[in-house]
């Protein structure tokens, strides 16, 4: 009622008491003195209509008394203002719209908009309606509100992008938008086969219903999936059409059209396109095709012509690398992925790191597996590197000196004094945020993480300020992230040297280390080509050539951003397979909503203001009533 909620709505029945003063005013007895006239018995009897008994007298007094009773009933009902907070409503509907590259074809996008509009219009009467869009990341466009026109307006302005498809990202943001309110999530998507890549399942509260509305898939999409500098420029054009296709590929170098080739594509096949034109040593080349019926963003791919040095990753150990095995597993894991992601790996012990006061260039990232041999100068250097924008992965293994750790990273981390030896059923690692980039390609590895035996770890006693990315099955932090001034710190609570666990011997170890290192070096100097959704800071997440802004110790550079070629594949999964990833959770939203309602009512305390208004009404009514009584007494003598 007018955006109000009530903790004790039964007291609103007291509003019926407002009829009492109205009836008293209508049927009150006359109080005027009656004087008998001697000749009255001689007059014939006749009915007299007593109009003044029905006439409302003293309307101001009546209004004050009615208002006082209404305020009293409403105050006892404990009101609070709900506003547009969806957490305080009885039910809400959130429409989740896929805006990834795979639905950007004209026919597919038209179906997306039509289906999403039907979902908004079909939401139950009385539901608040919100709108969420997602590709690699989810974003709330309209929080649940009773004004459905807001969702319709936002949908009309929505356009598809060039990102990948991540169903957990969209559903996770939708659940956040519901914020504990029971309701419905209406997902509009093309069921892209990669939509659950990097996530095994997602828990959905039992009082939230998820419905998926599949849309049409663009038939016969064509895409430029790779461009390399081999014998000039070589591009790979992929056809997902069921029949043969003929397209023209065009090469552009530094903004100038350089050549074109006609490409004959077999059904569901790829073809190499070679341009033997001389290519300059610097700049940007691109290869583009025309595909009006398919997705637009994958019709062109960009290639930086200048060679990009590999990012440098330093593995910091407690013992010298020539005399110890510490850091060896991390080093080998990074070197194993060099074919897909070139990286310059260096291993240095704490003594050498402390003595090397003037390195030629700061590493793009540091993996710390030991701090025991860092002296005061080395701890200050590591702390300064992190504060100035460095990226660090810290492993809390046996070679980490806990008493001096806060000095080494410039952050007070509260840890249990002794390592924890967990029970067998409390040692598995479970991802808390599968949407984070460190988990994006590790679905199989995460399954391995859940099975590997963790023999010891260090317990983080204070999680405030940390974003927990994974936990041990017993609830303790396994992997967490936080900003340290301008830098980023990732903390792994166990060991990476095969001493407190067998993780380095598992197949998932190398993908884990490589993806963490790629995440930490995502904006490293020297890297010139990026694939969505990973882009450096200051560069928009859109395909094309962009200028990387200058930073401390780094000149501006031209970088390119390309779409994920896997998103061009129109292969879809089934609706049953999609829904199988949704697992029922506990029904706690109603209790949480009640707690929030109580907290809001306690914060607003409208009942106290109501009682103050009631007191004021009674005072005014008393003054006006007393004045009226005196007036009538004077009139009657």
Q: Are 210 and 240 in contact (CB under 8 A)?
A: no
pLDDT for the residue 54: 42
pLDDT one-digit tens code per residue, 299-355: 999 999 987 677 889 999 998 887 777 888 999 888 887 766 778 898 999 999 988
**Residue 262 phi, psi dihedral angles, 5° rounding:** -90, 130
**Residue 219 phi, psi dihedral angles, 5° rounding:** -75, 140
Q: How far is CA 323 from CA 37, 103, 228, 332, 345, in A?
A: 130, 55, 41, 16, 18
The tokens describing 23, both together, are: 């009836």
Q: How far apart are CA 119 and CA 212, in angstroms?
A: 10
pLDDT for the residue 199: 58
Q: How far apart are CA 294 and CA 103, in angstroms?
A: 9
The CATH fold of domain 86-218+571-594: Rossmann fold (3.40.50)
pLDDT for the residue 190: 92
pLDDT for the residue 525: 46
Q: How far apart are CA 162 and CA 294, in angstroms?
A: 13
Q: How far apart are CA 380 and CA 409, in angstroms?
A: 8
pLDDT for the residue 358: 54
pLDDT one-digit tens code per residue, 548-597: 887 655 678 888 999 988 888 888 889 998 998 888 865 444 555 566 66
Quote the Cα angle for 616-617-621, to 5°: 120
User: Do the domains 312-527 and 86-218+571-594 match in fold?
Assistant: yes
Residue 242: closest CA among 223, 225, 256, 222 = 222
Averages of pLDDT over each 10 residues, the chain, 637 residues: 66 77 66 58 56 54 79 80 55 94 92 95 90 93 92 95 90 88 92 76 86 86 90 90 93 93 92 90 93 92 84 89 82 80 86 73 88 91 90 93 90 89 80 72 50 83 88 87 90 92 84 87 71 84 89 74 89 89 65 62 74 82 74 64
Provide the residue ranges of all domains of the chain, joining segments of one domain with +: 4-42+51-81+605-635, 86-218+571-594, 312-527
Residue that has been written with the tokens 């009674």 in this structure: 618
pLDDT for the residue 133: 96
**Domain 312-527 CATH class label:** alpha beta
Q: How far apart are CA 421 and CA 459, in angstroms?
A: 10
DSSP string, 238-301: EE--SS-EEEEEEEEETTEEEEEEEEEE-TT-EEEEEE-S---SSSEEEEE---TTS-SGGGEE
pLDDT for the residue 247: 94
């Amino acid at each position: 009622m007018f955006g109000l909620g009530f903790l004790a709505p039964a007291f609103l029945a007291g509003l019926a008491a407002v009829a009492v003063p109205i009836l008293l005013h209508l049927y009150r007895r006359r109080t005027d003195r009656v004087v008998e006239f001697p000749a009255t018995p001689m007059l014939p009897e006749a009915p007299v209509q007593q109009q003044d008994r029905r006439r409302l007298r003293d309307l101001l007094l009546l209004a004050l008394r009615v208002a006082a009773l209404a305020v009293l009933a409403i105050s006892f009902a404990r009101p609070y203002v709900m506003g547009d907070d969806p957490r305080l409503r009885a039910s809400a509907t959130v429409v989740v719209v896929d805006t990834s590259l795979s639905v950007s074809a004209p026919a597919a996008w038209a179906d997306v908009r039509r289906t999403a509009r039907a979902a908004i219009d079909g939401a139950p009467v009385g539901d608040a309606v919100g709108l969420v869009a997602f590709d690699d990341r989810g974003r709330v466009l309209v929080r649940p509100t009773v004004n459905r026109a807001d969702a319709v307006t936002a949908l009309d302005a929505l356009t598809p992008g060039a990102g990948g498809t991540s169903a957990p990202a969209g559903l996770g943001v939708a659940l956040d938008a519901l914020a504990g309110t029971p309701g419905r999530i209406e997902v509009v998507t093309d069921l892209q086969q990669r939509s659950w890549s990097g996530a095994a399942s997602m828990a959905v509260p039992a009082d939230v219903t998820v419905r998926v509305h599949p849309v049409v898939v663009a038939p016969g999409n064509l895409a430029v999936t790779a461009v390399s500098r081999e014998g000039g420029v070589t591009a790979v054009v992929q056809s997902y059409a069921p029949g043969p296709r003929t397209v023209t590929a065009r090469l552009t170098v530094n903004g100038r059209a350089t050549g074109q080739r006609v490409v004959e594509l077999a059904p569901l096949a790829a073809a190499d396109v070679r341009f033997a034109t001389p290519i300059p040593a610097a700049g940007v080349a691109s290869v583009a095709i025309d595909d009006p019926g398919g997705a637009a963003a994958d019709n062109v791919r960009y290639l930086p012509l200048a060679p990009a040095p590999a990012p440098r990753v330093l593995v910091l150990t407690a013992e010298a690398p020539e005399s110890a095995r510490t850091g060896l597993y991390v080093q080998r894991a990074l070197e194993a992925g060099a074919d897909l992601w070139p990286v310059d790996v260096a291993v240095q012990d704490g003594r050498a790191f402390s003595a090397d006061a003037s390195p030629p260039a700061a590493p793009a990232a540091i993996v710390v597996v030991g701090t025991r041999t860092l002296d005061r100068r080395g701890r200050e250097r590591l702390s300064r590197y992190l504060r100035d924008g460095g990226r660090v992965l810290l492993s809390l293994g046996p070679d980490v000196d806990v008493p001096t750790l806060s000095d080494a990273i410039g952050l007070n981390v509260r840890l249990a004094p002794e390592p924890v030896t967990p029970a067998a059923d409390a040692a598995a690692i479970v991802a808390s945020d599968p949407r984070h980039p460190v988990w994006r390609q590790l679905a199989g590895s995460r399954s391995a993480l859940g099975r590997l035996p963790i023999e010891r770890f260090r317990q983080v006693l204070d999680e405030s300020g940390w974003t927990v990315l994974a936990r041990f099955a017993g609830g303790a932090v396994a992997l967490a992230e936080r900003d340290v001034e301008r830098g980023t710190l990732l903390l792994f609570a166990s060991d990476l040297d095969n001493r407190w666990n067998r993780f380095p011997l598992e197949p998932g170890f190398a993908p884990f280390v490589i993806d963490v290192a790629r995440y930490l070096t995502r904006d490293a100097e020297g890297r010139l080509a990026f694939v969505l959704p990973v882009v450096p800071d200051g560069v928009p997440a859109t395909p094309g050539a962009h200028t990387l802004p200058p930073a401390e110790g780094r000149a501006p550079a031209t970088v390119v951003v390309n779409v994920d070629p896997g998103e061009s594949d129109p292969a879809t999964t089934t609706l049953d397979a999609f829904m199988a990833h949704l697992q029922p959770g506990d029904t706690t939203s109603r209790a949480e909503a009640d707690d929030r309602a109580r907290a809001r009512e306690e914060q607003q305390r409208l009942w106290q203001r109501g009682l103050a208004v009631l007191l004021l009404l009674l005072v005014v009514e008393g003054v006006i009533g007393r004045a009226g009584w005196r007036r009538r007494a004077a009139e009657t003598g």
